[in-house]
Homo-oligomer: A and B are copies of this chain.
């Protein structure tokens, strides 16, 4: 029935020997995305160390470390991968993996840095963690290219029990940011989330809903028309395979991804001790700007916002308009992949022009100076002039066919 070969077939055919064998890697990551709940540092590290194909092989053979095997349990015996991939294909979805060009590696690198900084936190070994661990793979549904949309994106989050004021402001922000060419990222929930998505769609701008269930499911059900429109014009994104149910703990795990996939997070309305606050704090730990919309002090739905603005250490900025938001996130490429408290970075001392060229460099496939000049909005000669300095600073590398960003782990630390 299925045209997709099973993992067993891959192994039989010897396709799994090379990690570069993309279909096998994709199938391996599809299997992994169902085998364990995302958000576990131990599991992510096991896959990083072994490689996805070898990780699957060991798990299926019962040769993985105990802590990792315990997370997978009986699912080690199963292989729903062909069904998952088929189900995804039927709903217009696909699996994007770190090995793909489309993977938003630069943004998600912030999670990798955060993971390496909090290595021994025992909470990270719990399946119900909110640890800053990168996703193993992302199921996406829609016409947008994930890396491109995320590269110029802002998260708008807030309460489900929002007020008319909050929904108005969220919709206006979504609309104005969409008009300015920014992707609005939110969680697809009632209230602030939905208003932000709708504002963006009204501006004919793409918007991303990061879900805590499969991208082929509508949760909440009342938003099925909204999700349908997002899937037509933007992207639905999830770490969970098609059909996955929106379990409560998955929302916390999902929230870290909203913070990590964006240039900054705007909290529109939040009650005291709310999930939106947690997303804001996660964004701050990732070094992304935290922006907060105030409201009447008499409104319970603004109490959480005001709490965030009163936390001096958080450094949240009060915003009242899209102009304020763009002022915070507009300097593309800043604050990315840097630990929040890092005193200086390799970009320090770079000229404005060099920064723009650096921002123009893609993460994976190298491109030529003409393309870089077009993206950076400068002259080809300027690009050619600054590239040697960027290479000397270990910020870019020549791939044989073009220039790309040097992967961060290879970058010399300042």
Whether the Cβ atoms of A297 and B309 lie closer than 8 Å is: no
Whether the Cβ atoms of A296 and B296 lie closer than 8 Å is: yes
Chain B nearest CB from A316 CB (Å) reads 10
Whether the Cβ atoms of B306 and A318 lie closer than 8 Å is: yes
Interface size on A, residues (CB 8 A): 20
Chain B nearest CB from A186 CB (Å) reads 18
Residue among A165, A295, A297 with most chain B CB within 10 A: A297
- Binary CB contact string for chain A from 301 to 320 against chain B (1 if under 8 A, 0 otherwise): 01100100110000001111
Q: Give the contacts of A13-66 with B (CB-CB under 8 A).
A: none
In the complex, residue of chain B having the shortest beta-carbon distance to the beta carbon of A165: B296
Chain B nearest CB from A322 CB (Å) reads 11
- Binary CB contact string for chain A from 275 to 316 against chain B (1 if under 8 A, 0 otherwise): 000000000000000000111111000110010011000000
- A128 near B: Cβ within 8 Å? no
Whether the Cβ atoms of B310 and A317 lie closer than 8 Å is: yes
Give how many copies assemble into the complex: 2
Residue among A318, A321, A324 with most chain B CB within 10 A: A318
Instruction: Using A294-B318, A297-B320 as known contacts, say yes or no to A309 and B309 having CB atoms under 8 A apart.
Output: yes
Q: Which of B168, B298, B318 contacts A309 (CB 8 A)?
A: B318
Q: Which of B169, B295, B303 contacts A295 (CB 8 A)?
A: B295
Whether the Cβ atoms of B298 and A296 lie closer than 8 Å is: no
Q: Which of B165, B294, B295, B297 contacts A321 (CB 8 A)?
A: B297
Whether the Cβ atoms of A318 and B310 lie closer than 8 Å is: yes
Tell me which residues across on chain B come within 8 A of A318, comparing CB atoms: 294, 306, 309-310, 318
Chain B nearest CB from A413 CB (Å) reads 27
Whether the Cβ atoms of A296 and B295 lie closer than 8 Å is: yes
Tell me which residues across on chain B come within 8 A of A321, comparing CB atoms: 297
Cα–Cα, bound, A297→B317 (Å): 14
Q: Which of B165, B168, B169, B297 contacts A294 (CB 8 A)?
A: B297
Cα–Cα, bound, A255→B165 (Å): 34
Cα–Cα, bound, A309→B295 (Å): 13
Cα–Cα, bound, A40→B379 (Å): 52
Chain B nearest CB from A199 CB (Å) reads 15
In the complex, residue of chain B having the shortest beta-carbon distance to the beta carbon of A327: B310
Tell me which residues across on chain B come within 8 A of A295, comparing CB atoms: 294-297
Cα–Cα, bound, A238→B180 (Å): 52
Residue among A294, A298, A319, A324 with most chain B CB within 10 A: A294
Tell me which residues across on chain B come within 8 A of A306, comparing CB atoms: 294, 318, 320
Tell me which residues across on chain B come within 8 A of A168, comparing CB atoms: 298
Chain B nearest CB from A373 CB (Å) reads 32
Cα–Cα, bound, A324→B306 (Å): 11
- Binary CB contact string for chain A from 322 to 359 against chain B (1 if under 8 A, 0 otherwise): 00100000000000000000000000000000000000
Q: Give the contacts of A190-219 with B (CB-CB under 8 A).
A: none
Tell me which residues across on chain B come within 8 A of A324, comparing CB atoms: 310
| 21 sampled A-B residue pairs with Cβ under 8 A | A165-B298, A168-B298, A169-B297, A294-B296, A294-B297, A294-B302, A294-B309, A295-B295, A295-B296, A295-B297, A297-B319, A297-B320, A297-B321, A303-B320, A306-B318, A306-B320, A309-B318, A310-B317, A310-B318, A310-B324, A318-B318
A interface residues with partner B (beta carbon < 8 Å): 165, 168-169, 293-298, 302-303, 306, 309-310, 317-321, 324
Given A294-B302, A306-B320, A309-B318: 9 more A-B contacts, CB < 8 Å: A294-B306, A295-B295, A295-B296, A296-B296, A297-B319, A297-B321, A309-B309, A310-B318, A318-B318
The 10 closest A-B pairs by CB, nearest first: A294-B294, A297-B320, A309-B318, A310-B318, A306-B320, A306-B318, A165-B296, A295-B296, A296-B296, A293-B297
